[in-house]
Structures are given as C-alpha cells and as structure tokens.
Structure 1
Amino acid sequence: MHPTNPRWKIILPLAILKFLLPFIGIHAVYELQRDEYLYYQQGLHPAWGYLENPPLLSWMATISSWLGGSEWSIKTWPALLGALTLIMACILAARWGGKAWAQAVTALVFILAAFARVHLLFQPNIIDIFAWTACIWMLVLFQQTRQKRYWYGFAAAAVVGFYGKYTILFLLAAIAIGWLFTSQRKLFLSRHLYIALGIALLLALPNIYWQYQQNWPLLHHMQELQETQLKFLSPLNFIAEQFLYLLPFLPIWLAGVAWFFFNAPWRWMGITFIALLTLLMLGSAKGYYALGIYPSLIAAGAAFWQKRSATIKWLQPAILTVVILLSLPMIPFLLPFAPPATMANIFKTMQFEKTGLLRWEDQKDHPLPQDYADMIGWKAIADKAEKAFHQLPDSVKQHTVVYCRHYGQAGALKFYSRDKDFQDRVISDNGSFLLWIKPEMDFRHLLFVGRNNPDADDEVFNHFASRQILDSVNMPLSRQHGDKVILFRDADSVASSLARTGLAEMKLRFQR
C-alpha cells in the first residue's frame, strides 16, 4: 500500500474532541485520581528521578504548578498527549495507504476504546503510549524514505519514552527482535542508528545516574509491585486483556497484525508485536502495559480494510457500524460521566461484574471500577484533616505533625489546603514522600490520617499518652471510605527519636 495524504479535515476535529474529553467527559463530582496527587507533588520537588517513575511527567506537573496548580492545568497534559497521539496514528494510517475512512477509524479508537480512559488521567501511561507511537512513526518514515534524520527522531522518541516510563525498554527490545528475524537485520549495520542511540544514552544518563545514587529504586518499586499486585496476574489474564481493552476494534487490529506478517517489508512489525507480548508476560506485566503498540496496529488494519473495501462497497459502513455499536456499552467504563451512585447502578443493571472489569487490585469485584472509586473522597478527607488541625489550640498545633499512611492522602491534603503551615506539616513515609521528610523532624502530637489504627505493637505510637478518633470518611463508593483522622497527643521524649531513627533506616534503602 502506497502512502496517502493525511485528511486534516477529518483528523483535526476528532483531535479537538479527543482533547476536550478529559474536561467534558468527567462529571464535576469526581476529583483527581490517587496517583495524580503524587505526580503533582513530585512536580513541586523537581529531580532527575523519583521512587515510582522517571521524571518527565513530574516536570509537566511543575509547569502545571506555574499555571496555578488547578485540576484543569493537570488534565491538560493527558488531553494534549492524547490528541497528539491520535494525530500520529492517523498519519501512520496514511503512510500505510489509508485514506479518509481509515484515518477516521484510527482516530475513533482514541475516543471509543481504552485510550479514552487512559487519557483522562495524569499518569505515565500517557507519555508511554505517545512515545511508542512516535518511535514506530519514525521507523516507518525511515523505511519509506531512507532519510537518516529519522534515526534521530526515533532516538528522541525513545528518550521521551524513557523519561516517561521505563517500559519503553520492552518496546526497543521487541523491535530489535523483529529486525533480527527479518530482512531488516541489515539495519544493525547502520552507523547512524548507533550514533542516534549513543546520543539517546547520553540524554538518559542523568536519570540512570540518579537511579544509581538512590540504590536503584526502580528495582525496589518492581519488587513492591510484585508483592502487592503483579503476583495476582497470569499470562492468561494478560492475553484476555489484550482482546478486552480494544474489543470493538478487534477485527481492525487483528487485520493489522495479519497484514504485517503477510507483507515482507513490514513483517518485522508483526514479530515485534508477538515479541513484545511475550516479553511483557515474562515480566509479569499488567495488560495495559502493551497499549502503546495498538495505535500502529489499528492504523495498519484500517488501511488494510480500506483497500479491501474497494471491491466490497458495503464493507466500510458495515465495519464502522459494528465498531460504534460494540463501543456504546463500553462508554460507562471509559468516561465517568455521571455521579458515582448512578454509575454503580449502570454497572449493576448491565451486569458488568461478570466481565471482570469491576475487579480491583484486591481481586474482588466492587460497584465501581477502581479508578472511579479512586477519584472521590479525597477532598473529604483533606477537609476533615485540616478542620481537625485548625480546631487544636495554638500551643498544640505548633508541636503537631500530620502523618498520612498513603501518598494519595498526603498529596490530597497538600493539594486542597491553602494553609501553608498545614501543608508543611503533612508527611508520609509512603513512596517518594519518604525522601521529602526533613531529618530533624520533631513532634509532641500527631494527627494521623489512614484507614486503620496503628498496630498495637507499633514502637512510635505506643509512646503517646492518648488517642482519639476525630472524624472519618463515610462514602461507601469511594476507595477512601473508612479513612480516619486520629489525634495522638502528648508523646514522651522517646517518640520523636524513634520516628527519626525509623525514617532514617527506611531512607537507607535508597542511599549508597
């Protein structure tokens, strides 16, 4: 199939709609999602890396903070990267011969499938999918034009991906395998490839060096994920999710895979896809880690069906009708367009609990998808904690630390409070918040924010004279339901010392 021109009259309106979805597709009752509070706080502590993720997303949060730190300034990033990824995918469809229909179908996958959900949230996945699509776009341009500059575009996209999410390494390894087992292996002899990759490595070195300085927190993070989440995953679930995420577009992306395998010049793409899924399964990855490869598969498949429809006139409207009809029942999972109780009723009425789409990390089914439940209740716990703090006598406030069990709680308290004194007192030993706790921390009283009371044998909490539950979140559909605000008063002289020693020991894991 020969390249065609991008149809901007189709692409741009759909890209604008894609950009608007995070602003018009989310009901006003929903707040930021748990992880978004963490990434925003990272932006207020600029660095070359963080315990959970590379720094690019957090640098974007820094810019959002310059714009006032509002929710819209944070949501602009997934909106923007989603629209740009849509445009790249449509251009890929054009490069593979897709005309207006193929480009429209390619754009629709970003509006009517899993990408709609991904691009609602300020998370590393938005950079991951963008960078993977850009990498393949650059390789396609190189293969079709043989212009050496695209090697450097490929390297630049890989660097963006590396600073967004380390899973780009899986894609690069899969591409190398795709080349190795096809005629594209001759590309390994290209001098410009190694120059470009050398430049990419130099640009990646600051983050690699940061990882080294912090004793490779990526490995600690992966171990934690394995112990808490990944151990529940199986290769069968991983494969099932590949079909589920883009179910309405299944005939299109499968056609893309088949077209790659049956066309020698592009066979490396088919092998790359199989190698990628294999590598991710071997790494116990979650199903959505592979989403970045699908814009390319959709673009190729749409171009394939467009060519086939030249002799079968009813094929284009039939495929488009099927895609739209199959997408409609999925919309509640893509956009939280109604209040939580209404969404829960929709899922119950449609019996979605049988699909597994309502299963959380605890492997139990719940009334709402986990992301939706993680977008409510944060302002409630923040308001309750700050109100409790301000009701304390001044003599107590000045010796009080606000301790949060989880980074989501700490991030929400800092995000919603406008009291600088209160913000500065909020700490957590969870995630990157651990590194931001000042070593000279001292306290006599502690305002605890968390789900459960500390254990009876907790060394630090046993040194307080009293404890009192002041408030709690009563929102059954929220993942924060049951979070408590507990006041611990009148610690003895040992408590602060024990806390400092314990925190120092925790930080030692991330120091050389």
Structure 2
Amino acid sequence: MTAGRYDYFGDELYFLSSGRRLDFTYADQGVVVPLSAHLSDLVAHGSLIALRFPAAMMGVGAMVVAALIAYELRGGRRAQLLAAGTYGTSELVATQVQLSTFAFDATLTAVITWLFVRWVRTRQDRLIIVAGLVAALDMQVKWMIPLVWACLGLAVILCGPREILRRPALWVATGILALSVVPILYWQSQHNWPQLAMGTIIGAEQDATGYGPIGFVPQWLGLAGVVGGPLIAIGFWAVLKRESLRPYRFIPVALVLMTLFVIVTHGRPYYPTGFFPAMFALGAVGFARYPRRRWMNLAVYPLVGATVLLFTAMLTLLPMPQHWRTQSHSAIDLGFQSAAFGTTNWSKMVEAVDTGYNTLTPEEKSHSAVVAQGYWQAGAVEQLGDRYHLPPVYSPSRGFGFFGPPPNNATTIVYVGLDTAEPDLRTHFTDVQRVTQLDDPVGTPGIDRMVAVWKCKGPKQPWSTMWDSMTTLYFDLGLWRDSRATTRPTH
C-alpha cells in the first residue's frame, strides 16, 4: 500500500484540526471523519498509516460489498471475484487510501444500495430500516446522501419495484434520515448557510481545473478503471436484456440521475461513484451469464493484463521521486502533480512560520498568534509546529474560520499565505513587514511555492469585528485566480 509513502494531504491536516475541536457538525462535512482523525492521532500521533487506516478499511469494505451485491444477484464465485477485483484495482480504491469524506461516503452509499438489492430479493422490511440508519450515519460524513436517497427513490418510481413505495418501513427509514439532518440544518442556519455558498465555489473550482462538464465523463471512467468502464456498460445492457436482472434497473437509473445532477451543478466527478460497486456487480453477473464466443473470452485478457500492470505500477512507483517533479502552470497540472508526488514540504512552510515568529520580541510574543491564509496551511502549522512552540494558529479560510478569531489582545500576528496577500494585509494592520519567502519553482503552490510570511502589527479593528470581513469560503491555491468565485463572508 502507498498509505505511508505520501505526505499529508491538505484536507487530512484540516480534519486533524477539526478533530481537536469536536462539534456535532462543521461547515462542509459532518463529524465522522474529524472524529476518526482525532482518534487515530490519539492512538499514534503523527502516524500517517494510523490516520489513513480507517479510510483504507472502507476501501476494502467497498470491495466486499461489491461481491455481496453480485451474490444477491445470483452471481457465482467468478462474478463475485470479478466485481470485488474490479473495485480493488480501480482508481476509486486508490483514492480511498487517504483520509477523506469520500472514503467513508462511497462505501456507505454502496452498503445502502446492497440493502435495497437484498430487499428486492427477500422482501425483508427490516433491511429498509437498516438502510435508513446507514444513511443517517452517512449524513454525519458528507451531505450528499439525501441526493443519493432521492435518486434511488425517483429511480424506483420510474422503473420499479414500486412495491417498496407502499412499505411503511421506507417512510420510517426516510424519517430517520430526515431527523439526522435537523441538527445540521440548525447549525447551518446559525452560521449563514455556508454549505449553500459552497456549491457555487466547488463548481468554479471544478471549472478551473479545465475539466468542467465536458470533461466529466473521461474523469468518471478513469475512476472506474480499465475493467470497470466496460463492466458498467455491460451492467446497463444486462438490466435491459436479462429478465432476472430487470428488477434491479433502479440502480443504473439512479446512477444516471445523480450523474446528470452533478454535471449540471459542476460537482466533483466522484460524487456518483458510490453506485459503482453495484454497477460492477451487475456487469460481472451479466458478463458471466452471457453466452460468449471464444474471441470475446480472449478479449478479456488484454483488459485484465492492463489492469494488473497499472495496479502494480501504482503500488510500486507511487509516489514518484520528487526530482521528477515539474512546475505546475495550472490547476489541472497541480492535480496531476499531487496525485503523482503528493503534497510535500509542509515542514519547510512551518519552518518559515517559525522564522517569522523568531523575529518577534519577547513582549510581542506574549501577545501574538499565527494566522494562515488557507485552511491547509493552518492545519500544517498546528500539526507539525509542536517542536517550535508556536502560538495558537487561526485561519479565516473555509471551515477553519468557524473555529473563531484570535483573541483581541493578539496585537502581533505572524501571517503565512500566498505572496500576493500583502495589499490585503495592509488594509487590516498598521504595520506589515515581509519576513521570508518560499518560492521553489517546482514546489507546490501554497506550501513551498508562491508563499511568504509577514510580521503584522496593530490590528485596525478588534479581531471579533475584523474576522467577519476576513473569513471566506474561497480557497486560493494561486493557480486559478482568473476563475475566482465570488467570495462572501462565512459568518
């Protein structure tokens, strides 16, 4: 596994910071992932493997669920192994190596789909209740599950089995999910509904990567993998042509509905992939039952060979040596670089913050704080800054901004951010001095490229007042300023 070879991803550092400030929900996700990060850090502080172990187990769980769905579809051992193996060698399981909301959400969505598939075969209503409980748990991970539930419901209305709509258990399960949303809605209402604003910002970020709606399908198929793409196509064919699989037509229809929603809203391509284990199972069962000719069987070998080769390369070559890294010129370049090399050199950025802190006099240090422009930077300073004895860190960026501002007696700030931040800093402080800069040409923007540290004195307003004008949900990586979404306060 590559789990221990990649350095921290930015969101992982944020989840560690969130876990130190446990709440029943946060600005853009629920409590499950921050809680997982916090528990892992308590057990083995600083261990990347411990941090990512729960996410990796979720990836393994999705493989098992794919096999279980194939079993419910009356697929034999070969079909079950094909469904599980396809997920295990896809880009999806590679994505689940890092701690993320996706790692949990994708598997829990697959579990919900499996429970509905099993209900179709057994008509045991308790399965629907369990699906509602799993959905309520998933709601504490990421807030896509109401959309998943709605797509499944609309798919059932369109193509059956409509009998489930008459079962009281379905409405009980829906009520359980609705109740789990109530505290989240309350928190959002008390904080100016940040999640509503995030939709526009995520869409702008997705467009800035250069993919947008047109490039959604290639990304989508890339996540499915070399074998997964054909299996999904076979799954669509199978539910139309195989009488025994027609009761499960709601699965591909739900996938199509959710995919269309994500394309229209410019969402992330991985949002609909929680349905992939079920689609792999449908494809595997359909493939196993099709009366194939010899040339069709022979055609499978190149696909399997390519999959094994890519999977082996992923395990042995990633992350690539850092001296192979080239300069990122766009957001899409940065995405490829992050996948191939990881996000590295956090320690250099934290050392630069310490350099800035050491320029403070003892009096200034007694009334100081660290403020990071981005929530990734704030998480890195908090996680890796223990040995430097830095003051508390704050950030106006996304969810970190809701953790609150520095105290009003913090009159000297060590600020770390993009090297373009100085004009904005001068609107908030009477004295702004650049202390040091990081600008490795092949570095990662926001970590060791286009980064500077300032010593800022004399806040022009109390922090409790100034924070509202500084907080933003927009996260500037320095490479998509032309596609910048409208910023708005988060409080």
Q: Which moved more, 1:93-102 or 1:37-46?
A: 93-102
d(CA) in 1 for partners of 2:93, 2:324 = 17
Q: Is the 8 A contact 1:22 1:79 kept in 2?
A: no
Distance 1:421 1:116, change over 3 A: same
Q: Which residue of 2 aligns with 1:296?
A: 278
Cα deviation for residue 376 of structure 1 reads: 0.8
Residues 53-202 of structure 1: matches in 2 within 5 Å? 53-70=29-46, 71-202=48-179
Q: Scaled by the length of structure 1, what TM-score is found?
A: 0.82
C-alpha displacement at 1:94, in angstroms? Answer: 1.6
Cα offset for 1:215?
2.6
Match of residue 443 from structure 1? 410
1:68–1:398 distance in 2 versus 1, CA, 3 Å: farther
2:224 to 234, 239, 246: 246
Q: Which residue of 7, 27, 30 corresponds with 1:31?
A: 7
Shift in CA distance, 365/337, structure 1 to aligned 2, threshold 3 Å? closer
Specify every segment of 5 or more residues in structure 1 that has no aligned partner in the other structure, as ranges. 1-20, 346-357
Q: Does 1:396 align with 2:378?
A: no
Deviates more, 1:63-72 or 1:315-324: 315-324
**Bigger shift: residues 411-420 or 471-480:** 471-480
Partners of 1:409 and 1:104 lie apart in 2 by: 42
Letter in 1 for 2:30: P
Q: Helix, strand or coil for the counterpart of 1:261? A: helix
2:309 aligned residue (308, 322, 328):
328
Alignment deviations for residues 294-336 of structure 1 (CA, whole Å, 9 cap, x no partner): 1111111112222236x65786675254233255347667886
Task: Report the TM-score when normalising by structure 2.
Answer: 0.86
SS across alignment from 1:369: helix
Pairwise CA distance, 1:484: 3.5
Q: Indicate conservation of the 8 Å contact 2:40/2:51, yes or no.
A: yes
1:433 to 400, 405, 408: 400
The offset of 1:410, in angstroms, is: 0.7
User: Match of 1:41, as an amino acid?
Assistant: S
Q: Hey, what does 2:300 align to over in structure 1?
A: 319
**1:403 counterpart letter in structure 2:** V
1:271 match: 253
RMSD: 3.0
Whether contact under 8 Å (1:151, 1:196) holds in the other structure is: yes
1:203-218 matched pairs, under 5 angstroms: 203-218=180-195
Contact 1:85 / 1:130 at 8 angstroms: preserved in 2? yes
Alignment correspondent of 2:479: none
Q: Name the CA shift for 1:317/1:131 in 2 (closer, same or farther; >3 Å).
A: farther
Bigger Cα displacement from structure 2, 140-149 vs 173-182: 173-182
* Number of the residue aligned with 1:469: 435
CA distance 1:291–1:457, shift in 2 (3 Å): closer
Partner Cα distance (2:19, 2:424) in 1: 36
Residues 239/335 of structure 1: CA separation in 2 closer, same or farther (3 Å cut): farther
- 1:275-286 correspondence to structure 2 within 5 Å: 275-286=257-268
- When residues 213 and 407 of structure 1 are mapped into structure 2, their CA distance, relative to the original with a 3 A threshold, is same
- Secondary structure at the aligned position of 2:402 is classed as helix
Tell me the residue number matched to 2:453: 486
The secondary structure found in structure 1 opposite 2:99 is coil
Cα 1:302/1:77, change in 2 over 3 Å? same
Preserved contact between residue 248 and residue 327 of structure 1 (Cα < 8 Å): no
| 1:369 paired to 2:337 | yes
Hey, what's the Cα distance between the residues in 2 that align with 1:203 and 1:370? 35
2:216 and 2:263 in contact (8 A); partners too: yes
Q: Distance in 1 between matches of 2:255 and 2:136?
A: 21
Cα 1:38/1:427, change in 2 over 3 Å: same
> Residue 402 of structure 1: CA displacement?
1.4
Moved more, 452-461 or 46-55: 452-461
* Aligned-pair CA distance for 1:510: 4.9
The alignment partner of 2:435 has SS state of: strand
What is the Cα deviation at residue 208 of structure 1? 2.4
Q: Which residue of 1 aligns with 2:475?
A: none
Residues 1:130 and 1:364: Cα distance change in structure 2 (over 3 Å): closer
- Aligned residue pairs, count: 468
Rounded Cα–Cα distance in structure 2 between residues aligned with 1:56 and 1:301: 32
| Residues 344, 368 of structure 1: 8 Å contact kept | no
Question: How has the CA–CA distance of structure 1 residues 367 and 68 changed in structure 2, closer, same or farther, with 3 Å as cutoff?
Answer: closer
Contact preservation (8 Å) 2:89, 2:225: no
Deviation of 1:31 after TM superposition, in Å, equals 1.0
Report if the CA contact (8 A) 1:113-1:245 is conserved. Answer: yes
Partner SS, residue 92 of structure 1: helix
Cα deviation 1:211-251 (Å, max 9, x = unaligned): 22223221122232234434765432112322232241122
Query: 1:453 offset after TM fit, Å?
Result: 4.1
Does the 8 A contact of 2:40 with 2:50 survive in 1? yes
Aligned residue in 1 for 2:375: 407
Higher mean displacement: 98-107 or 398-407: 98-107
Deviations, residues 121-163 of structure 1 (Å, cap 9, x unaligned): 1111111211110111000111111111101121122122222
d(CA) in 2 for partners of 1:497 and 1:302? 63
- How far 1:200 sits from its partner (Å)? 2.5
CA 40–453 in structure 1, closer or farther in 2 if over 3 Å, else same: same
The residue that corresponds to 2:466 in the other structure is 502
Tell me if structure 2 keeps the 8 A contact 1:51–1:217: yes
Structure 2 SS opposite 1:235: coil
Q: What amino acid sits opposite 1:467 in the alignment?
A: Q
What's the counterpart of residue 261 of structure 1?
240
- Mapped to 1, the partners of 2:398 and 2:220 lie a distance apart of 29
Amino acid at match of 1:106: A
* Separation of aligned partners in 2, 1:327 and 1:442: 59
Amino acid at match of 1:382: V
| CA distance, structure 1, for counterparts of residue 17 and residue 339 of structure 2 | 19
Contact 2:252 2:279 in 1 (8 A): no
Provide the rounded CA distance (Å) in 2 between the counterparts of 1:132 and 1:381: 37
Say yes or no: does 1:223 pair with 2:191: no
* Equivalent position amino acid for 1:35 in 2: D
Partners of 2:284 and 2:380 in 1: CA distance: 42
Gaps of 5+ in 2: 472-487
Q: How far did 1:401 drift? A: 1.9
Matched residue SS, 1:171 = helix
Name the CA distance, whole Å, in 1 between partners of 2:230 and 2:205: 35
Q: Distance in 2 between matches of 1:150 and 1:343?
A: 51
Residue 463 of structure 1 aligns to a residue whose secondary structure is strand
